Chain A
């Protein structure tokens, strides 16, 4: 009799309605705040009661007749509906209702009267809504039950005020209207309460379902006959019961409203209406003040969601409601980029269809589906380009008869919002996601349809159907029609049979992996309709799930990513060992399958992953999210591979320039294993960041050598701006990643600072310029030598050198080691010397004809070799190695003396 109803404040307005309860029962009902949806509270308390009064009420259900079905005073019918469909039954007034609000009902310190007043208003409206809800929810009570209601003696209940306690503990009473109600159930027995059931609840429910159905059969035959003659079976129910008006739309009201709002935003543009003040306030954020046509900012609307929720219907209904003529393009039409030009653009520009006065609204259905051939994205692209405004220059555009701007709304509908083909569309479209409406609404609608069609269906079966179909209204209706056509009653087992395989393919990778790693949840088991012994036979169920996904490799990746997180306390890791064994076997099979094209093996693949279930299943484990480590790793590998490729290209170029010198370094694994780590060390000597002019000779040698190597191997420092705006020098190709593991550079490689890199970079640039200049000089030189009638054979080589100087010659890098003895000198400064040596056997003279005794000691010292020549008394002269065509020629001292 006493109900303590503690609201956590999350129950929406009407949910505060007097909780219907049986007078004799005392039940504590604590809402956890999730019972938000409007009409649901009717059902909720009954859920709470089920455990208490199940046994008793079952007895009632059996004892009592069909009368009880929509009788207000009884509990059973609600009970049958499993709380999802409250009949007009639960209007029972508690004698004493303790209503403890948590402070949301009025202010604490306010005068009591005002608090009271503020509370009376809702309570009255609650009463109103109560009636409404019962109207909405309830099936129109059929004649028989109405007639059955008559014999009951109406009872006028005394005014039982509702007592409410405010947060501060003040008690207040809310008066209630006197209501005429039917007699309360007398058979309820408080002594039966609290006991456990001796028959499992699901079995009881089955029984109820069966009895209810059988009773319906006995009752029904009068009505449906009439109706079935009225409605010929040549149309699909889906079409017959398609909503025609906005108010008839089923499902998420927010989606419908948002869509409507978007369409309404076009009103100004299409109908020339100024929007009312009220509207303007609502959609400020999408209002585009710059637009001269007053169109919304996003000119496309993209509705996405799983099939069967009524997206197409929604679009059509709203379009008609808003006063448009619908033009639909769906997957059955050819959809190429040309269609946009041929059909869509003319229609949109004309503004209305032929022979119609209404403006046109374009609906592109199934836009993510087959879009005709290989140019799937070109259609979308073209469509998006429609929405672009024409160029700013108005006059010019008009002169050239440019495209006119888009002045009519376009609604696109798709299933997969993230489909690849829609990538270009997404940024330009307002996206609305259509979600599955609450089951209760669907069940109610199905119920109505069943009533009209004269199909006997009990609510439990219908809600099962909705559960299996995952809210797919179309699927539900088709199933029901199918059942109807076989003249059967809608019972739960039948629904199970009829929906075998329905929606099974619609699982995601994460779902399957979760199923592998977690035991079957009660809910899912119920959804699948399998018992316990079936549950223990998991192999076929899981393998079917894996196969249904048709992507065993991502499942295996998921298993691999997750298995080590399970069974953390397995001492000798036996289950992990088995797990890896299975993975390895899986991999062997799949790689053999792909490499040898033996796709017969495919059907076995899923079984290799099933063992993860018995090995690693854990109850209460966290839900597994998709792991992208493997994918990330693959991406990283690819990018590193590209770096290797550019490095080896550079080396190959170098090798082309210098007689195939480096070519052995880049074959096979040498590149990754030996060359990459050591070249990194070679190019990072400990240099001090000082001006290149004042550098110490030893360091100078080091620097020169570094520059040489880097130039030869096509390695560069490139100046860049970092994110924080600082200038940095980046190695290009960035081979320093190969000594960077876990984000840390190898410890033994000195961090090269900006100044050092700057120094090196300038030196490299200088070297490159010198090389280029060399090439040019050389070509000049060869011309000169032509002029002097000397050695015309040098011409082609010189030309090649020019090409070399511009870098990146691989193909015709005719190499010159063989010609070394007769080649032209590389270094500009050494040129006069070289000419003379080349030309003459006579002792060399300088410009003035004097003999040259010690040639170029300055140049010699630059590479640090000249000094050594002086120290060691082995006289050997060596030309500086040039930048491109190295000339090294041993010359006897005697030539100079």
Chain B
């Protein structure tokens, strides 16, 4: 019925395949009765959300799996309507405030207060508090994070907050200090392979080790991606034999093409070509930061050693500008022009150098 990613998602802490130490800690924390605010962070596809839901199950029992999904409408100060999807059970609530964009503060304030001010009425509940899960905490605006600070302390008796983020760098220090930080690292290739084999076993078919290795190598520590690739592969060539071609996401392939274009030729005409490709990527809703990162990584692979640091430096520089700025394409192109001129200068330099030596 469901995709494998969901079908074989572990439901309890015991079922988790890797990071046993973390699982044990979570278990004991859940049992202690003194559950703190928490911040789960780690790369995408490492299993943060899975661990959060397992922890919840440990805390509250089966009741947390009785989910209700609905939409709530908030009114922003400028009278705009914001629709936020909320997933909740009797014991917890899950929100993604970044859906509200700049007005996430409103969501945080209204929703959290509302939850925090009502006590748990179910007398049979295992815990006296409710849990609020905030997804994508690292894209919370400053205002929203500030709004969270006091709430976290004031309503400690009624509510615990679990933040889920990719990196802690964009969270303000006061929030970090109020949370117990839980790092969920990406699984190692071996761990991923065991998971894949587990899935194959559950589905009763043989997964050739080469295939699983290939999948693992391709997914770069992203379990979700690995499982999606796995399923796609199984759908496309049901017997999983012969030479397997692991499908890369199309945007990634396209980014690599762009990088190749940059390395091949450095002319204004090429800049125009690259620009049209960037437009194509942007129109497919690929985040510009991701585009820049992917292209830069690919370019770095293909240039001389002495250029690598510079290219990455400028990529970081322009990504920073891009985040502040509005027109993403300007900054993407600025980086391309920069890289091109850098590349050209070094190429010429090498050329000159060679010539002088020759003479």
Tell me the minimal C-beta distance from A324 to chain B in angstroms: 50
Do B69 and A637 touch across chains, with their CB atoms under 8 A apart?
no
Distance, CA A872 to CA B205, complexed state (A): 12
3 closest pairs, A vs B, by CB? A580-B334, A681-B232, A591-B326
**Interface bits A667-707 vs B (CB < 8 Å: 1, else 0):** 11110111101110111111000000000001000100110
A63 at the interface (CB under 8 A from B): no
Give the residues in chain A near B18, CB-CB below 8 Å: none
Distance, CA A683 to CA B318, complexed state (A): 38
Interface CB pairs A-B, < 8 A, 27: A570-B268, A572-B345, A584-B325, A587-B331, A588-B325, A591-B326, A591-B327, A640-B285, A652-B69, A656-B69, A658-B1, A658-B2, A661-B2, A661-B9, A673-B251, A681-B247, A708-B1, A740-B250, A742-B280, A746-B247, A746-B253, A810-B70, A811-B70, A811-B71, A815-B67, A817-B65, A818-B62
A299 at the interface (CB under 8 A from B): no
Checking A577, A630, A712 against B2 with a beta-carbon cut-off of 8 angstroms, the contacting residue is A712
Distance, CA A682 to CA B225, complexed state (A): 13
The segment from B148-156, B187-195, B234-242, B351-359 that touches chain A is B234-242
Distance, CA A705 to CA B2, complexed state (A): 9
B275 at the interface (CB under 8 A from A): yes
Tell me the minimal C-beta distance from A612 to chain B in angstroms: 13
A-facing residues in B212-243 (Cβ within 8 Å): 222, 224-225, 228-229, 231-232, 235-238
Known A-B contacts A681-B232, A810-B71; the reply to A633 vs B282 at CB < 8 A is yes
Do B6 and A662 touch across chains, with their CB atoms under 8 A apart?
yes
**Interface bits A710-740 vs B (CB < 8 Å: 1, else 0):** 0010000000000000000000000001111
Give the residues in chain A near B275, CB-CB below 8 Å: 564
Do B340 and A587 touch across chains, with their CB atoms under 8 A apart?
no
Chain B, residue nearest A669 (CB): B287
Give the residues in chain B near A584, CB-CB below 8 Å: 318, 321, 325, 330-331, 334
B204 at the interface (CB under 8 A from A): yes
A56 at the interface (CB under 8 A from B): no
Give the residues in chain A near B6, CB-CB below 8 Å: 658, 661-662, 664-665
Known A-B contacts A572-B345, A591-B324; the reply to A814 vs B66 at CB < 8 A is yes
**Interface bits B317-359 vs A (CB < 8 Å: 1, else 0):** 0100100111101110110011011001100100000000000
Give the residues in chain B near A508, CB-CB below 8 Å: none
Checking B66, B280, B290 against A815 with a beta-carbon cut-off of 8 angstroms, the contacting residue is B66
B-facing residues in A568-599 (Cβ within 8 Å): 568, 570-574, 576-577, 579-581, 583-584, 586-588, 590-592, 594
B254 at the interface (CB under 8 A from A): yes
Do A637 and B330 touch across chains, with their CB atoms under 8 A apart?
no
| Range class of the A interface residue count | 35 or more
B3 at the interface (CB under 8 A from A): yes
Do A568 and B70 touch across chains, with their CB atoms under 8 A apart?
no
Known A-B contacts A587-B326, A587-B331; the reply to A672 vs B286 at CB < 8 A is yes
Checking B87, B237, B280, B337 against A663 with a beta-carbon cut-off of 8 angstroms, the contacting residue is B87
Interface centre among A566, A576, A737 (most CB of B within 10 A): A576
Distance, CA A664 to CA B266, complexed state (A): 42
Do A560 and B5 touch across chains, with their CB atoms under 8 A apart?
no
Do B232 and A682 touch across chains, with their CB atoms under 8 A apart?
yes
Known A-B contacts A573-B337, A661-B2, A686-B236; the reply to A583 vs B96 at CB < 8 A is no
Checking A580, A679, A681, A741 against B337 with a beta-carbon cut-off of 8 angstroms, the contacting residue is A580
Known A-B contacts A587-B325, A738-B284; the reply to A817 vs B96 at CB < 8 A is no
B272 at the interface (CB under 8 A from A): yes
Chain B, residue nearest A571 (CB): B344
B85 at the interface (CB under 8 A from A): yes
B-facing residues in A791-820 (Cβ within 8 Å): 810-815, 817-818
Main SS of chain B's interface residues?
helix
Distance, CA A637 to CA B286, complexed state (A): 10
B267 at the interface (CB under 8 A from A): yes
Tell me the minimal C-beta distance from B214 to chain A in angstroms: 14
A247 at the interface (CB under 8 A from B): no
Tell me the minimal C-beta distance from B61 to chain A in angstroms: 10
Known A-B contacts A640-B284, A705-B235; the reply to A813 vs B250 at CB < 8 A is no
Interface centre among B3, B321, B344 (most CB of A within 10 A): B3
B77 at the interface (CB under 8 A from A): no
14 additional contacts, CB 8 Å, given A564-B271, A664-B5, A673-B249? A565-B272, A573-B266, A583-B327, A584-B318, A630-B329, A672-B287, A674-B249, A678-B229, A678-B247, A682-B232, A746-B247, A746-B253, A810-B71, A815-B65
Known A-B contacts A576-B268, A584-B330; the reply to A886 vs B1 at CB < 8 A is yes
Checking B7, B318, B340 against A573 with a beta-carbon cut-off of 8 angstroms, the contacting residue is B340
B260 at the interface (CB under 8 A from A): no
A292 at the interface (CB under 8 A from B): no
Chain B, residue nearest A586 (CB): B330
Give the residues in chain B near A656, CB-CB below 8 Å: 69
Tell me the minimal C-beta distance from B229 to chain A in angstroms: 6
Give the residues in chain B near A684, CB-CB below 8 Å: 235-236
**Interface bits A556-567 vs B (CB < 8 Å: 1, else 0):** 100010001111
Chain A, residue nearest B204 (CB): A868
Tell me the minimal C-beta distance from B49 to chain A in angstroms: 5
Tell me the minimal C-beta distance from A23 to chain B in angstroms: 58
Do B337 and A576 touch across chains, with their CB atoms under 8 A apart?
yes
A122 at the interface (CB under 8 A from B): no
Tell me the minimal C-beta distance from B274 to chain A in angstroms: 10
Tell me the minimal C-beta distance from B65 to chain A in angstroms: 5
Distance, CA A659 to CA B53, complexed state (A): 13
A197 at the interface (CB under 8 A from B): no
Do A573 and B344 touch across chains, with their CB atoms under 8 A apart?
yes
B245 at the interface (CB under 8 A from A): yes
Distance, CA A568 to CA B271, complexed state (A): 11
A216 at the interface (CB under 8 A from B): no
Give the residues in chain A near B235, CB-CB below 8 Å: 681-685, 702, 705-706
Tell me the minimal C-beta distance from B320 to chain A in angstroms: 10
A636 at the interface (CB under 8 A from B): yes
Tell me the minimal C-beta distance from B288 to chain A in angstroms: 11
Distance, CA A36 to CA B66, complexed state (A): 85
Do A670 and B3 touch across chains, with their CB atoms under 8 A apart?
no
Give the residues in chain B near A379, CB-CB below 8 Å: none
Checking B225, B283, B338 against A577 with a beta-carbon cut-off of 8 angstroms, the contacting residue is B338
Distance, CA A813 to CA B236, complexed state (A): 33
Interface centre among B96, B267, B279, B325 (most CB of A within 10 A): B325
Checking A586, A667, A672 against B135 with a beta-carbon cut-off of 8 angstroms, the contacting residue is A667
Give the residues in chain B near A568, CB-CB below 8 Å: 267-269
Distance, CA A656 to CA B254, complexed state (A): 34
A655 at the interface (CB under 8 A from B): yes
